[in-house]
Structure 1
Amino acid sequence: MLKLLIFNTFFSEVFKSVLMNKHFFEEIYKYPDIKKEDYDRIANAHSSVEFSKNDLLIKAGKVSNAYFLVEIGLFRSYVIDFKGNEITTGFFSANHILIEVASLFLRQPSQENFQALTNGVAWKIDIADFHELFQTIDGFSEWGRAWMSNQLFISKQNSINMLTQSATDRYLHLVKAQPEVIKNAPLKFIASFLGITDTSLSRIRKEISRKA
C-alpha cells in the first residue's frame, strides 16, 4: 500500500509538471495557427537548463548556437564599451526569450554577453531544432515572423525613448514594465541600462520616494 501511495504521488507530480511545462510553451509560442498537438513537439525540442548567479549563457566573441526561454530567474545582456565599461542592454525574466539574433541566424560572433543575475531555469533550443520546427510547423514559422517584427518595433521604440524621454520617465517605465528588475538587479546595471550614472539614478529614486 505504501509503495502504491508513493508511486501515485510521484506520478501525480510528474503529470502536474508536464502540464505546467506545456502551458509554459503555449504562453510563449502563443499563435492562433499553432495546433494544440504541435505544442508537444515544440516542448520536446527544448531542454531544461539550470543556471547559477553570474553564469554566462551566451559569451561575446562566440557564435551562438541556441536561444533560451526564461522560466525562473533574472538575466541581463551587456556589452563592453570602448572604455572597458559594462553597459547593460537588456533584462530578461520569466516568459522572456533570451536570444542573440545576429549571432544565431547570421552565424557571426556575438557582440553581447548574457548573464544570470540570480539562480534560474531556462529552456534551451538549438538552432537545428528551431529550423526543423520552423520548416515543418506552419504556425510556428508564422509565430517566428510575428515575434521578430514585434522585436524590431520594441527596439525602435526603445531607441526613440532614449532620445525623447527623461531619465526619470525611463526609470518609471522600467518599474512598471519589469518590477522584478528593480527588486533583483544591482543599481549599476539598471543605471547603465537607462544611460545614466549610479549617482543620477540614486537621486531619481530619492525624488520619487519623496513625492510618494
Structure 2
Amino acid sequence: MKELFDFILTFGNLNRQQMDFITEKATEIHLSKDEYFSEAGKVANRIGFIFEGILRVCYYNNTGDEITKYFIDEHNLVVDLESFDHEISSSAYVQAITDCKMIVFSKKDWTELLQTIVGFDATVHKIISRALMKKVERRSPLVSEDATTRYLKFLEIYPNAVNRIPLSYVASYLGITQSSLSRIRKGVR
C-alpha cells in the first residue's frame, strides 16, 4: 500500500483516517502473464494500481490484427476510464504481459472513496489528467517519425520495461513488423 499512497500523495493530501479507509476498500490481486484485467465487449468494473508488472492496452482492427495501443508499468493506475465511468462496453483489452501484483478497487468502492474523502475527486482528476497527457506525449512522436526514431523514443519512454515486453507487442505498438524491429534493434546496438 505504501507505493499507492506515495503515488496519490504526489497529487494531493490524505490524512491517516483517509488512508485507513482506502486500505479498507483495497484488494490485492495477482494477474498471471496473459491474463486480462478488463476485456473488450465487457464493462470495466474495477480500477487498479500496479506495483509490480506491466500491462498493455490492445484491440483488434477491422482485419483482425491485434494492435497494441500502449503499455502501463509500475506505479500507475490502470482502468478503461470511458467504460468504467459511463458503464459502457469496452472496445479494448487490458492484458498482463508479465505477472502483475496490483491493488484494485471495485466500481462501488471507488465511488464510495470519491464521495467520502474530501478532495479525493480533485486528486483523482489530477492523476487522470497527467496520465492522459503522458499518453498523448508517448503517441504523438510515433505518428510522424520513421521506425528507428519511433523505437528510440520507445526506449526513452519505457526504459525499465523494454526487456520485459515481448518483441511482437513492441512491434505492434510501433506499427512495424517484428522482422523490421529486429533489423532496427541490430542497427541501434
**Would you call these one fold, judging by a TM-score over 0.5?**
yes
Q: Which of 43, 48, 64 is the equivalent residue of 1:68?
A: 48
Question: Matched residues in 2 for 1:116 and 1:163: separation?
Answer: 25
Summarize the Cα distance change of 1:35–1:170 in structure 2 as closer, same or farther, 3 Å threshold: farther
Per the alignment, residue 4 of structure 1 pairs with none
Question: Matched residues in 2 for 1:167 and 1:37: separation?
Answer: 50
Question: Matched residues in 1 for 2:168 and 2:114: separation?
Answer: 39
Contact 1:73-1:93 within 8 A present in 2 as well: yes
Summarize the Cα distance change of 1:91–1:156 in structure 2 as closer, same or farther, 3 Å threshold: closer
Structure 2 residue runs of 5 or longer lacking an equivalent are none
Q: Could you list the per-position Cα deviations for residues 127-147 of structure 1 after superposition, in whole angstroms to 9, with x for gaps in the alignment?
A: 111111112212311111112
Summarize the Cα distance change of 1:84–1:199 in structure 2 as closer, same or farther, 3 Å threshold: same
Shift of 1:188: 0.9
Question: Matched residues in 2 for 1:36 and 1:195: separation?
Answer: 46
Shift of 1:200: 1.8
Question: Matched residues in 1 for 2:145 and 2:173: separation?
Answer: 14
Question: Matched residues in 1 for 2:32 and 2:139: separation?
Answer: 31
SS of the counterpart of 2:49?
strand
- 2:131 aligned with 1:174, yes or no? no
Structure 1 residue runs of 5 or longer lacking an equivalent are 1-20
* Aligned length, in residue pairs: 188
> RMSD of aligned C-alpha atoms?
1.7
Per the alignment, residue 68 of structure 2 pairs with 88
Shift of 1:46: 1.1
Tell me the percent identity.
Answer: 28
- 2:96 aligned with 1:116, yes or no? yes
Larger relative helix fraction: 1
Per the alignment, residue 179 of structure 2 pairs with 199
Within-5 A mapping of 1:19-38: 21=1, 23-30=2-9, 31-38=11-18
Per the alignment, residue 21 of structure 2 pairs with 41
Shift of 1:118: 1.8
Per the alignment, residue 150 of structure 1 pairs with 130
Shift of 1:175: 1.7
- 2:116 aligned with 1:136, yes or no? yes
**TM-score, scaled to structure 1:** 0.81
Structure of larger gyration radius: 1
Per the alignment, residue 14 of structure 1 pairs with none
**TM-score, scaled to structure 2:** 0.91
Q: Which of 115, 126, 140 is the equivalent residue of 2:106?
A: 126
Structure 1 residue runs of 4+, over 4 Å off? none
Shift of 1:45: 1.4
SS of the counterpart of 2:129?
helix
